[in-house]
Amino acid sequence: RTRRQEVIKTQYVYNVAGPRSLYHADAHEKLAKIWGFWVHLLIDGYSRYIIYLTVKPDKLSSTVQAIFREACDLVGWGARVRWDKGTENAGAITEQLEHHRRNDDGTGRWCGSAITGRSCQNCRAEYIWNFLKRHVSGPYRELFFRMMRELEILDPSSPTDLFCLHAVFLSRIQAACDRFRRMWNNHRIRGPRTVRGHGGGVPAELWCDPVEVRVLRDDLQHTPVDDDGVIRSTTCSYGVAEPFKGDSVELTEKEASLQDPISGSGPASLLLRALRTAYFEEVTFECDKEGITEYLEYRRVCDELLSLFAEGWVTHGVVDWDGYALGCSDLACLRIRAKLSELGKRSVPACS
């Protein structure tokens, strides 16, 4: 290819009928492959409005399907939705097709409501990841690597370490995603507005632009665009007419290996997990901006709860809370045990 051919490229314009005309769905995996945090995205192509930005410990088809269905029931179903060909999208694609099939007017337009293709063509979703990496996943990647390499307090190959990491950081990463979503939906878009004749635009405002149902239906059947919402010179056939089965990717690779150190379903395990939950509801970490202190505390609390049985503080199903509270010489241990003992006395003492 000559330099002239490289420079001279055809300019395409992204154009869809209006809000809910074309959604783009994708998943961000910068925090997933090592630590098991998947960030799931659904964005409206017309307005660039982020519908959801949800953090989950897996990328299973059932998880993606549930997030997608709940969001669409809440804000409205898109006339079309664009996915890549990952197996995890099969359930959501089926939901999209079934929803439009049930509401079809006999024309068979529902067949084009689900669009699949290469992830690099999913332009609206891919564009977001650059900014999300800068504001959310990038800082957390640096933090987790520091916990692994410098502080040596995190082993990603340990299911229990990953469980404690998720217990502390899943909500923190979700809060960061929520802040990013609010910022993005209320920022002013540079360049020409999606609506002709107006300059600029804010996603939250563009999302509310009026568009008739008839326009969306006509768009679904006749708009000459390709799979990623870009106008071409001729119309093209897109979408899938049957539930999508996806690529042959092992689902086990898309779920974090987590193991609660307090496992089991018996009364004793239930009591210990209830005490752990109560502990972190009452003990706050407002000054711990990074989350490292809370992570270390979570691991210590799990260890101290397990020591109830390991050190013999339970006799015939009855816990010696007073002895347990004083049965340690370490100050940090004493502090944690004193609080757990206080919480334990409020709960049912028998765990047999």
Helices (H), 223-330: 267-282, 292-310, 321-326
**The residue type at 89:** N
Do both 199 and 273 map to the same domain?
no
Do both 189 and 284 map to the same domain?
no
pLDDT digits (tens, 9 = 90+) for 4-29: 555 445 555 677 888 999 999 999 99
251 pLDDT exceeds 50?
no
What integer is the mean pLDDT of 297-305? 96
* pLDDT (0 to 100) of residue 118: 75
Average predicted confidence (pLDDT) for the chain: 83
What distances in angstroms separate CA 226 from CA 8, 74, 101, 234, 235, one per listed residue?
Answer: 21, 28, 22, 9, 8
d(CA 247, CA 242): 15
* pLDDT (0 to 100) of residue 278: 96
* pLDDT (0 to 100) of residue 154: 97
Q: How confident is the model at residue 122 (pLDDT cuts 50, 70, 90)?
A: confident
Last residue of a domain, one of 165, 196, 222: 222
Which has more confidence, 289 or 198? 289
Residue 234 domain flag: no
Do both 200 and 71 map to the same domain?
yes
Residue 81 domain flag: yes
Residue 36 domain flag: yes
Do both 65 and 163 map to the same domain?
yes
Residue 233 domain flag: no
Residue 291 domain flag: yes
Sequential DSSP letters for 69-125: HHHHHHH---SEEEEES-GGGHHHHHHHHHHHHHT--SS-GGGGSEEEE-GGG-HHH
Do both 87 and 187 map to the same domain?
yes
Q: Which of 57-71, 101-115, 211-225, 228-242 has the highest mean pLDDT?
A: 57-71
Task: Find the domain containing 284 and state its range.
Answer: 267-346
* pLDDT (0 to 100) of residue 81: 94
Last residue of a domain, one of 222, 257, 275: 222
Residue 338 domain flag: yes
Q: How confident is the model at residue 216 (pLDDT cuts 50, 70, 90)?
A: low
Last residue of a domain, one of 158, 189, 222: 222
Which has more confidence, 224 or 54? 54
Residue 27 domain flag: yes
223 pLDDT exceeds 50?
no
% of the chain residues with pLDDT over 70: 76
User: What's the angle, vertex CA 333, arms to CA 330 and CA 335, rounded to 5?
Assistant: 110
Do both 170 and 295 map to the same domain?
no
Do both 106 and 186 map to the same domain?
yes
User: Residue 81's beta-bridge partner residues?
Assistant: 23, 114
pLDDT digits (tens, 9 = 90+) for 26-44: 999 999 999 999 999 999 9
Residue 237 domain flag: no
* pLDDT (0 to 100) of residue 217: 54
pLDDT digits (tens, 9 = 90+) for 61-80: 999 999 999 999 999 999 99
pLDDT digits (tens, 9 = 90+) for 165-182: 999 999 999 999 999 999
Q: How confident is the model at residue 103 (pLDDT cuts 50, 70, 90)?
A: confident
The CATH number given to whatever domain includes residue 52 is 3.30.420.10
* pLDDT (0 to 100) of residue 13: 65
Do both 218 and 272 map to the same domain?
no
Do both 55 and 196 map to the same domain?
yes
Do both 198 and 278 map to the same domain?
no
Do both 285 and 214 map to the same domain?
no
Domain count across the chain: 2
Do both 170 and 297 map to the same domain?
no
pLDDT digits (tens, 9 = 90+) for 125-162: 989 999 999 999 999 999 999 999 999 999 999 999 99
352 pLDDT exceeds 50?
no
